[in-house]
Amino acid sequence: MALTSASDDSLPDGEIGRSGTTVDIAMDRPQSITEAISLAQFPSRAEKSKGQSVAIVAASFTIIFTCCGLNFAFGVYQALYETLARQPGTPFTGASPAEIDLIGTLCISLMTIGAPFVVAWAKRFSPRHVSFAGGLIFGVSLVLASFGKALWHFELTQGLLCGIGTCLSYMVAVTTAPTWFTSHRGLAMGVILSGTGVGGLVWAPALNACINSLGFRNTLRLTGAVSFALVSIASAAITWEPTSKARFWTENNARTSRADGILKVPLVDIRVARTRKFAAQALGAIFQSAAYYTPVFFFASYARSLGYGDTAGANFIALSNACNAVGKIVIGYAADRIGRLNTLFITTLFSAIAAIGFWLPSTMGDATTRTQGLFVTFVIFYGIFASAYVALFPTSLIEIFGAQNFASVNGVLYMVRGMATMVGTPVGGVLTRNTASALSPKTFEGMSILVSVLLFAASAAVLWVRMEAMVGPSGIVSWKWRQ
């Protein structure tokens, strides 16, 4: 009897197809082929998976709340470090906004650049072990950053090392979770990835308060300890969906070398990579990620140019993340009903309109009530619509490439997103022309234009994805609107 790994989108969430292999979810892997076959004959064992899918959502949310939430609150540190850059005798004295922004950019970029390796390791070993290692590295990186004496110390620890830790935990969460859901996949991923917004909502004001009372070094140490505790606890619940687990178990047993799957990482199938769908999805990922994090990192700095203080700057980050969280859940729910690709295009287009319609005009004059109002409006709409791309991105991959190709395609395209962030966000930082004196709204005009152009380009690419999804395997165009 051959082991199969069929995926049926008609199945209810948490159930395993009778044609697929069912494995006891309490195990990391079946102990033998005979056991896997025996388990496949009793699909009722999969009844446990309903509760397990809820645990997966809670654990994945906690990981993203911690790692991504802290990273999305980096704008608090960005504003603080820019202030220290204008003071003598600090690790950041004389540094430009772009040089300081490299700390956050390294972290966010590496969060996804290592995706193919992390996905391969999660398939080769237990995903909970990979995620736990990420939490350990993440926590240690923040503690080490607290002892930094020069800018490059922070780029190495709070940037590079923190990004590696985030990648190990984040990529495990966003790769294992979608496989547990079918009809409610958009809502589930919306809830999970709302952890970024909820995390930013909680961490931004918390960081600002801790920095004011404890100093930024003790704040780094405290958050390092708390983040390790949260991620390590959540990692215990992370596991593959049973049919995927069985498929990966058979793949691992077919390996000819222990190094295969550790250093030798299989990339996406060349037949998939050569399709127009893959090219369109890759372009959308590149343009959107090159733009997405730039406003997030500079919210506090831009708020200061409008006359707001440090507390208000942290509150703008919190406001954006609150909209981020609500938007991901509501839009994820809507996507399950009107089509995930349809929703992906609409939200990406609206984020571009928000950038050119509200942020760009606010940079073209002095700090007035009008410019402040435009900026607040931009923070709200950008938080709602731009973040939806992140939640819908993995669900769209399953829609287009199928569950059998999801893990590999997800890893490669997340790596592409990280590389684009590594380029786009620093370029945006360079476009802030004033470095030493107090900033003005005009300073951010070039950055806002860059973000607007990139988001409109991403919208065009996502529209291409939607059109390609209408073409069936035989080349026949399907006019089904809900996709």
What confidence score (pLDDT) does residue 217 get?
93
Q: Which residue has the higher pLDDT, 65 or 249?
A: 65
What confidence score (pLDDT) does residue 181 get?
72
pLDDT at 432 over 90: no
Query: Side chain identity at 197, as an amino acid letter?
Result: G
Residues 331/441, Cβ–Cβ less than 8 Å: no
* Ranges 67-71, 212-216, 431-435, 460-464: which has the least confidence: 431-435
**Nearest alpha-carbon partner for 240 in 137, 122, 326:** 122
pLDDT at 223 over 90: yes
67: Cα separation from own chain's centroid? 10
What confidence score (pLDDT) does residue 138 get?
94
pLDDT at 391 over 90: no
Can you list the domains of the chain with their CATH numbers?
52-243+260-468 (1.20.1250.20)
pLDDT tens, 139-167?
999 999 999 999 999 999 999 999 999 99
Mean per-residue pLDDT, 307-312: 77
> Which tokens go with 38?
């025996």
**Greatest extent of the chain over all pairs of C-alpha atoms, in Å:** 73
Angle between helices 310-338 and 74-85 (to 10 degrees): 150
Mean per-residue pLDDT, 99-114: 85
Mean per-residue pLDDT, 248-262: 61
Q: Which residue has the higher pLDDT, 292 or 42?
A: 292
Task: Indicate whether this model's pTM tops 0.75.
Answer: no
How far is it, in rounded angstroms, from Cα 164 to Cα 140? Answer: 11
**Nearest alpha-carbon partner for 459 in 340, 351, 329, 334:** 351
Q: Which residue has the higher pLDDT, 254 or 382?
A: 382
Q: Which residue has the higher pLDDT, 369 or 450?
A: 450
Put residue 266 in one of left, alpha, beta given phi > 0 → left and psi -120 to 50 → alpha.
beta
Q: Which residue has the higher pLDDT, 6 or 59?
A: 59
DSSP codes joined into one string, 114-140: THHHHHHHHHHS-HHHHHHHHHHHHHH
pLDDT at 259 over 70: no
Residue 352 pLDDT grade (very low, low, confident, very high; cuts 50, 70, 90):
very high
pLDDT at 176 over 50: yes
Q: What angle do CA 331, 336, 338 make, to 5 degrees?
A: 85
Q: Which residue has the higher pLDDT, 356 or 413?
A: 356
What confidence score (pLDDT) does residue 449 get?
92
What confidence score (pLDDT) does residue 71 get?
85
Mean per-residue pLDDT, 6-16: 36
**Range among 169-178, 283-292, 395-404 with highest mean pLDDT value:** 283-292
pLDDT exceeding 90 applies to what percent of the chain?
20
What confidence score (pLDDT) does residue 455 get?
94
How far is it, in rounded angstroms, from Cα 17 to Cα 243? Answer: 8
DSSP code for 359: I
pLDDT at 224 over 80: yes
pLDDT at 439 over 90: no
pLDDT at 422 over 70: yes
What confidence score (pLDDT) does residue 403 get?
66
* Ranges 16-25, 113-122, 389-398: which has the least confidence: 16-25
pLDDT at 5 over 80: no
Q: Which residue has the higher pLDDT, 177 or 213?
A: 213
pLDDT tens, 28-81?
444 444 444 344 433 334 444 667 778 888 899 999 999 888 887 887 888 889
Residue 255 pLDDT grade (very low, low, confident, very high; cuts 50, 70, 90):
low
**Range among 107-116, 136-145, 380-389 with highest mean pLDDT value:** 136-145
Q: Which residues are CB-contacts of 41 (< 8 A; sequence separation ≥ 6)?
A: none
Q: What angle do CA 144, 146, 149 make, to 5 degrees?
A: 95
What confidence score (pLDDT) does residue 336 get?
75
Mean per-residue pLDDT, 384-397: 78
How far is it, in rounded angstroms, from Cα 201 to Cα 69? Answer: 8
> Which tokens go with 80?
């603080």
pLDDT at 459 over 80: yes
Residues 210/77, Cβ–Cβ less than 8 Å: no
What confidence score (pLDDT) does residue 302 get?
84
How far is it, in rounded angstroms, from Cα 319 to Cα 304? Answer: 16
How far is it, in rounded angstroms, from Cα 417 to Cα 439? Answer: 30
- Token pair 């070094």 is found at 217
